[in-house]
Chain A
């Protein structure tokens, strides 16, 4: 590891100021589960590391039936898994969290950190995007802005975060009735893996008919960023979804993705798998939508 200067500000403002001051030479330290190994391997050599874990108010899980769920940026994945609130109202977030890394890493890794690391294969992003999440970004001077998570990612490892900006929370709106959501992390080995492809699918059915009112299909590891595929979603909306529709929707995803070949899989295989997994995820999401009571899965 290369040497750096360590900072541990006690306020959000302090953190924003430091990030602005050392822009381009600084990195935020949350759980450290991405940053520390990258520094160990000399993939990242920040001159300043800014620990934000001493800042109060960033680790809360709050829920309101009408407003939805808010996750502080420092909420750890194991906190999500053990949260009654999340289990009761957004169990798919628990499912996704369980797919991430290991128990030890989930005791450190934060949802905000996972998003800001912006790996195209990140597991939390597709589901959060499918849930129409928004993120709040704080900047120096007490300013903040919000945006759909879908617009947060720009490239592998990069986001829209401006100099001095810190992601402070993720907000998930309330689920509409008859919503079914599913996520598949498709991997070779059954643990400790980065997704070969990841698929989050959401289907929401109309109250009185079984027609699909809205759908979301978001892919991980097949493009420079998590990729939502509206073309595939449109195929499902406004009708009672048949098996054939699922297949056509999945095929539409296959046509749109731009996977790469790396040591984990070839682009061809990723393209094939994204189709297979899209179909399976949508099947599961649809089944959950049918069997859901009021909200959620």
Chain B
């Protein structure tokens, strides 16, 4: 069955018809053409599809689109403002935290949420922020460095 849902994505309002079983990640990628959010597993085990929904980072593959009716969503495409990159995005670039880039949007979105909510992160907190995101390229080292650069606690 199809449902009409309304949601805001990156500050823009959408009204779409979705199937009961459509997931948010497929809605974003296939319907709305926002392919910046990547799909790595479909079962919440890799974090690549992370978006911010109602001010919390979530695996968009675990959210049914119908359940996102009325939600405010930010994807990686919506992070930069007026052509200025978010400090996290800039830090990822500068610190060499991007290789193949497939995990990158998910990493940035979860880090954004986590660091916004943890203002004085401990060493352990940095790891907790991204422990739900898999990366095969970087070994995570420079990703953690990028996070620390943003909070100003780089060594």
Contacts and interface: CB of A to CB of B under 8 A. Distances in A.
B20 A102 contact: no
A78 B116 CA distance: 14
A33 B110 CA distance: 17
B40 interface: no
A184 B100 CA distance: 36
B1 interface: yes
Interface stretch (B53-61, B79-87, B143-151): B53-61
Contact of B64 (A3, A32, A103): A32
Interface string B132-153: 1110000000000000000000
Contacts of A32: 62-64, 67
A296 to B, nearest CB: 22
Interface in A181-201: 190-192
Interface stretch (B7-15, B27-35, B41-49, B89-97): B41-49
B76 interface: no
A157 interface: no
B56 A107 contact: yes
A36 interface: yes
A20 interface: no
B38 to A, nearest CB: 14
A162 interface: no
B contact patch SS: mixed
A5 interface: yes
Given A4-B21, A37-B44, A98-B128, A103 B57 contact: yes
B114 A36 contact: no
Interface size class of A (residues with CB under 8 A): 20 to 34
A236 B129 CA distance: 39
Contacts, number: 97
B23 interface: yes
A191 B21 contact: no
A226 B129 CA distance: 29
Interface in A28-45: 29, 31-33, 36-37, 39-41
A122 to B, nearest CB: 16
A94 interface: no
A1 to B, nearest CB: 4
A40 B110 contact: no
Interface in B84-133: 110, 113-114, 117, 127-129, 131-133
24 contacts: A3-B1, A3-B19, A3-B21, A5-B1, A6-B64, A6-B66, A29-B67, A33-B62, A36-B61, A36-B63, A37-B62, A40-B43, A49-B64, A51-B66, A101-B132, A104-B57, A104-B59, A104-B110, A105-B59, A105-B132, A108-B58, A108-B62, A191-B132, A192-B134
Interface of A: 1-6, 8, 29, 31-33, 36-37, 39-41, 49, 51, 53, 78, 82, 98, 101-105, 107-108, 190-192
Interface of B: 1, 3, 19-21, 23, 42-45, 47, 50, 56-59, 61-64, 66-67, 110, 113-114, 117, 127-129, 131-134
Please list the 7 inter-chain residue pairs (A to B) with the smallest Cβ-Cβ separation, ordered nearest first: A102-B132, A191-B131, A37-B43, A107-B56, A6-B20, A1-B21, A36-B62
